[in-house]
């Protein structure tokens, strides 16, 4: 089964959605799955160097008090899937284009899902600036990638246009929020759905495969 995930690296619900998908997959250990992550920038107009987190949050939500209430809800949701969000550690809200470029290269290196996990952890738990090339190179090293190659590609702005075009294609498909999961190019799940929603979709696809007429010999 092919699962395409449209996500942003600064989206806490995408991290939660990843965990819920993993919970569902753990209940279907015999399911052969190929997962591919695709870019979506929630804040495409973010300055390349990012923005001060407190100032950005105040502009986005109107006040620190409202933001605090909203993030408390996210924290509680994270606790249900054992994600210890540490929003207070985050000092910069990054432009995520470069992190998506790194995820793209991680696919070629065979470690894309691990890279997504590393970036989520570094941002949401460690409070690191995942728009900083030094942080991205360290993440690449952690994932076992060629750090010199990654450093060269980051410096050259390699694949920036490709990532931006893929983001635009997602929007043209009608995707306006993330996470967004596409299963076998047939079924879509929007948001951080519970494991039960994934399991229902898995079972429906399995039933369709089982009932499909076999090709004549």
Domain residues for the domain of 23 are 2-211
Q: Is residue 44 part of a domain?
A: yes
Q: How far apart are CA 122 and CA 19, in angstroms?
A: 16
Q: What is the pLDDT of residue 135?
A: 98
Task: Look at the chain and report how many structural domains it folds into.
Answer: 1
Q: Is residue 125 part of a domain?
A: yes
Cα distances (Å, whole numbers) of residue 106 to 37, 143, 144, 151, 201: 10, 8, 9, 13, 27
pLDDT digits (tens, 9 = 90+) for 135-166: 999 999 999 999 999 999 999 999 999 999 99
- Enumerate helices (H) and strands (E) in the chain, giving the number of each: 9, 6
pLDDT digits (tens, 9 = 90+) for 111-142: 999 999 999 999 999 999 999 999 999 999 99
Q: Is residue 217 part of a domain?
A: no
139 SS3 class: helix
Cα-flanking dihedrals φ and ψ of residue 79, to 5°? Answer: -60, -30
Q: Is residue 180 part of a domain?
A: yes
Q: Is residue 172 part of a domain?
A: yes
Q: What is the pLDDT of residue 91?
A: 97
Q: Is residue 135 part of a domain?
A: yes
Q: What is the pLDDT of residue 78?
A: 98
Q: What is the pLDDT of residue 216?
A: 56
Q: Encoding tokens for residue 9?
A: 């690296």
Q: Is residue 126 part of a domain?
A: yes
CATH number at residue 154: 3.40.30.10
Question: Which residues of the chain carry a pLDDT beneath 50?
Answer: none
Q: Per DSSP, which regions of the chain are E strands?
A: 2-7, 34-39, 51-52, 92-93, 180-183, 187-190
């Amino acid at each position: 089964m092919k699962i395409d995930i449209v996500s942003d690296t600064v989206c806490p619900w995408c991290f939660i959605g990843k965990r819920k998908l993993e919970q569902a997959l753990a209940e279907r250990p015999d399911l052969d799955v190929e997962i591919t992550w695709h870019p979506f920038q929630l804040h495409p107009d973010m300055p390349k160097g990012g923005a001060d987190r407190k100032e950005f949050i105040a502009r986005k939500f109107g006040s620190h008090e409202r933001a605090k209430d909203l993030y408390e809800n996210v924290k509680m949701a994270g606790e249900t899937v054992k994600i210890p969000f540490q929003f207070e550690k985050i000092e910069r809200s990054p432009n995520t284009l470069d992190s998506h470029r790194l995820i793209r290269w991680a696919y070629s290196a065979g470690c894309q899902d691990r890279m997504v996990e590393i970036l989520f952890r570094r941002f949401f738990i460690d409070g690191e600036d995942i728009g900083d090339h030094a942080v991205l190179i360290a993440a690449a090293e952690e994932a076992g990638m060629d750090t010199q190659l990654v450093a060269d590609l980051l410096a050259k702005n390699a694949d920036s246009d490709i990532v931006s075009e893929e983001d635009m294609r997602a929007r043209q498909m009608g995707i306006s929020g993330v996470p967004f999961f596409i299963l076998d190019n047939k079924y879509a799940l929007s948001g951080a759905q519970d494991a039960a929603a994934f399991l229902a979709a898995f079972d429906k696809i399995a039933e369709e495969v089982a009932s499909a007429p076999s090709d004549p010999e």
